[in-house]
Amino acid sequence: MNDRVVMPIWMFGVFIVIMNTTMFNVSIPSIIQELNITADLGSWIISSYSIGYALSTVIYSRLSDSIPLRKLLLVGLTILGLSSVIGVVAQDFSMLLAVRILQSAGAGTMAGLGLVMASRYIPYNRRGRAIAMISTGSAMAFGFGPIIGGIIGQYIGFNGLFGVTCLILLVLPILMRLLPREEPKPSQFDVFGAVLTVVNAASLLIAVMQRSIYWFVGSILSIAVHAWYMKIVKKETFINPKLFAAKDYRKLTMIGFCVLVLNLGNLFLMPLALANLAHESTLTIGLTIAPGAILSALLGRFIGQWIDRYGNIRFLLIGQILLAVVLAVFSFAIDVSPIVILCGYLLFSPAFSATLSSLNNETSHILPKQLIGSGMGLMQLIQFFGGSISVAVCGMILTMQNNIPLALAYEHVYRVLLVVCLLSLTISVWYKLSASRAEKLMQATA
């Protein structure tokens, strides 16, 4: 497989899939008004895609252990592309919601299978570059999505957003031609375990998004049932228990959770701060955030090369240190000027890309080959949980601070994110020290 050709195309696919979320975020007010629905119903246009995307990511990753990547990609991108075509003509809420759910069922192929493909077919000395390109696609989508969504929503309407996602159908035939052919592997797929995973994830996400104690209790019960099931079943389960037994993997998943808390929390807070503190327009907000995404895209290739040359752990630490610096500045100077946010995100976005790329590359390195699909899929599901929970919790903390100056309320939330970043950095140092001890032990016994 020629990864120098495949990975830029895959990056474009990831860009389209992630942007399918960020474009709709800025268009929700106009969709609510145009379809004459409540804000609660309107939020499900975002939530349904987010929940489905998280679940389909881990399912496609797990299926890749037994089903060829090309077949999974064909199914996933066909579902995403055809549902987007239907979305172009959607005129009522029920149809719009059904299309978003269908989109999410196919969208998980790009992020989930991208990491599996890189881990399986790209040599370790070039893998950092490949994984960095996937992270670059995500960073670009977070930066450009609000701008593109705002322009299309204003001049064409929400149906035009689906037209952008239809571009994924151009990617499909190219990747089908370039990806290596695989033979199906004999493996039993744990359907009941997959159902339990869907119930666990969906109920917990709904509990967080809706702030419902009933959904939370239901989620805890379903997780307990799943844990009991994995303990008594003798065959290989959907979530492989061996993953939880690996200390290094547990540390990396905790870091991944925290890093996505920081990224999605910051992307949620920056537009609000620019709108409510600096009174900037939607277009100006997008233009303030976009330079960071552009810089991240330009540096993506070099970041990957540096990771391959100097190692994952070094860039995992450097990236988080830079994230902590930006969050510390935002914690005390978010109200000074929009320039502070612009310059801060110019540093934050590349630092996040470097952190996530080195984290995913390190995860692919420590996992045995037979656990790549389930391990990378679970890692991404946990990362997504971090992002989803971050947005809900940041919004809740802001709401709780009605009686203090607005600028101070934003600074308080950024201080919470700074604490999360320092916690993640501590776990990273712990991981580095344990890896160093393990390496010295291997050298002593060699």
> How do the domains of the chain map onto residue ranges?
1-187, 190-237, 240-446
* DSSP 8-state secondary structure symbol assigned to residue 386: H
* DSSP 8-state secondary structure symbol assigned to residue 88: T
What average pLDDT does the segment 5-14 reach?
86
Q: Check residue 446 and give its pLDDT.
A: 45
Q: Check residue 258 and give its pLDDT.
A: 93
Q: Give residue-wise pLDDT tens across range 179-190.
A: 888 776 666 677
Interatomic CA distance for residues 186 and 189, integer angstroms: 10
Please answer whether residues 189 and 63 qualify as being in contact, where contact means their C-beta atoms are separated by less than 8 angstroms: yes
Interatomic CA distance for residues 36 and 294, integer angstroms: 36
Is residue 26 very low, low, confident or very high in pLDDT (cuts 50, 70, 90)?
low
Please answer whether residues 114 and 11 qualify as being in contact, where contact means their C-beta atoms are separated by less than 8 angstroms: no
Residue located via tokens 């039993």:
188
What average pLDDT does the segment 243-267 reach?
87
Interatomic CA distance for residues 64 and 152, integer angstroms: 36
Q: Give residue-wise pLDDT tens across range 149-205.
A: 777 877 788 888 899 889 999 888 988 888 888 776 666 677 788 888 888 877 887
Write the CB contacts of 122 (distance below 8 Å, at least 6 apart in sequence).
1, 3, 130
Whether 50 shows a pLDDT value over 80: the answer reads: no
Q: Give residue-wise pLDDT tens across range 227-248.
A: 888 888 877 777 777 777 788 8
Please answer whether residues 166 and 210 qualify as being in contact, where contact means their C-beta atoms are separated by less than 8 angstroms: no
Whether 352 shows a pLDDT value over 80: the answer reads: yes
So what CATH class is 240-446?
mainly alpha
Alpha carbons within 13 angstroms on the beta-carbon side of residue 286 total 17
Give the closest residue to 149 by CA, choosing from 10, 341, 282.
282
Q: Check residue 436 and give its pLDDT.
A: 66
What average pLDDT does the segment 399-415 reach?
86
Whether 59 shows a pLDDT value over 60: the answer reads: yes
Please answer whether residues 60 and 107 qualify as being in contact, where contact means their C-beta atoms are separated by less than 8 angstroms: no
So what CATH class is 1-187?
mainly alpha
Do domains 1-187 and 240-446 share one topology? The answer is yes
Whether 263 shows a pLDDT value over 90: the answer reads: no
Whether 442 shows a pLDDT value over 50: the answer reads: no
| Angstrom distances, CA of residue 431 to CA of 254, 262, 325, 359, 365 | 11, 20, 21, 11, 14
Q: Check residue 200 and give its pLDDT.
A: 85
Interatomic CA distance for residues 373 and 61, integer angstroms: 5
Whether 423 shows a pLDDT value over 90: the answer reads: yes
Please answer whether residues 385 and 205 qualify as being in contact, where contact means their C-beta atoms are separated by less than 8 angstroms: yes
Please answer whether residues 334 and 414 qualify as being in contact, where contact means their C-beta atoms are separated by less than 8 angstroms: yes
Torsional class of 36: left (φ above 0), alpha (ψ -120 to 50), beta (otherwise):
left
Residue located via tokens 């955030």:
289
| Angstrom distances, CA of residue 390 to CA of 6, 45, 398, 417 | 33, 19, 12, 9
Q: For residue 336, what are its two tokens?
A: 């000074």
Please answer whether residues 145 and 301 qualify as being in contact, where contact means their C-beta atoms are separated by less than 8 angstroms: no
Count of other CB atoms within 10 angstroms of residue 96: 23
Please answer whether residues 329 and 341 qualify as being in contact, where contact means their C-beta atoms are separated by less than 8 angstroms: no
Interatomic CA distance for residues 106 and 81, integer angstroms: 8
CA dihedral 235, 111, 139, 363 (to 10 degrees): 40
Whether 314 shows a pLDDT value over 80: the answer reads: yes
